[in-house]
Amino acid sequence: MRYGLTPFGRGYDLFNIFNDMDKDFFSGAMPANACRTDIKDAGDKYVMESELPGFEKEDITLDINGTYLTISAEHKTETENKDEESKYIRKERTYGSYKRSFDISDVDAEGIAAEYKNGILIIDLPKKKPEAPLAKRLEIK
């Protein structure tokens, strides 16, 4: 899934709300494989905080492709052999992966910094500096 940093940014599609409505209604507010993310406007930058509980820093990758930042996280586990020596009475935790993309077209991609602490991935996304409009005097021939 692709998400914009702001609700009405380039990555926002009004009709996508209706396409996913039945899926969201029956599975909760977020898809099961999506990490919950908060985005704050901190003036000169955006601060993104994504919940990734149970992951190690080595399990998380951040990729920039064009104007999209993709957060991926995957539990790297060895296959479990279910044998008679297993001590589990019940096992509800599952292993899986998360993947989300965000439109960062108004972000200075060179200045992005990330930190992972206590199950929260914090990404600082500095805003692009507005370009001054072109002003020059033209020669008359």
60-101 pLDDT per residue, tens: 999 999 999 999 998 765 545 555 666 777 777 667 788 899
If one counts every other C-beta atom within 10 angstroms of the C-beta of residue 79, the result is: 4
Domain that includes residue 36, residue range: 2-76+94-126
> b/e map of 19-44 (b: 16 or more CB within 10 Å)?
eeeeeeeeeeeeeeebbebebeeeee
The predicted pLDDT at position 139 comes to: 92
Domain-embedded: residue 72: yes
Rounded (10°) CA dihedral 103, 108, 113, 118: -30
Q: Which alpha helices (H) appear in 6-78, and where do they start and end?
A: 14-19, 21-27
Domain-embedded: residue 106: yes
Domain-embedded: residue 67: yes
Domain with 55 in it: what CATH number? 2.60.40.790
5-27 pLDDT per residue, tens: 654 444 445 445 454 444 444 44
Considering only residues 44 and 35, tell me which one the structure prediction assigns the higher pLDDT. 44
User: To 5 degrees, how large is the angle CA 7–CA 13–CA 18?
Assistant: 105
Domain-embedded: residue 139: no
Split into its structural domains, the chain has a count of: 1
The predicted pLDDT at position 22 comes to: 46
91-132 pLDDT per residue, tens: 776 677 888 999 999 999 999 999 999 999 999 999 998 888
Domain-embedded: residue 81: no
The predicted pLDDT at position 9 comes to: 45
Close Cβ partners of 132 (under 8 Å, ≥ 6 residues apart): none
CA 133 to chain centroid: 32
Domain-embedded: residue 11: yes
The predicted pLDDT at position 83 comes to: 54
The predicted pLDDT at position 133 comes to: 84
Domain-embedded: residue 14: yes
Domain-embedded: residue 98: yes
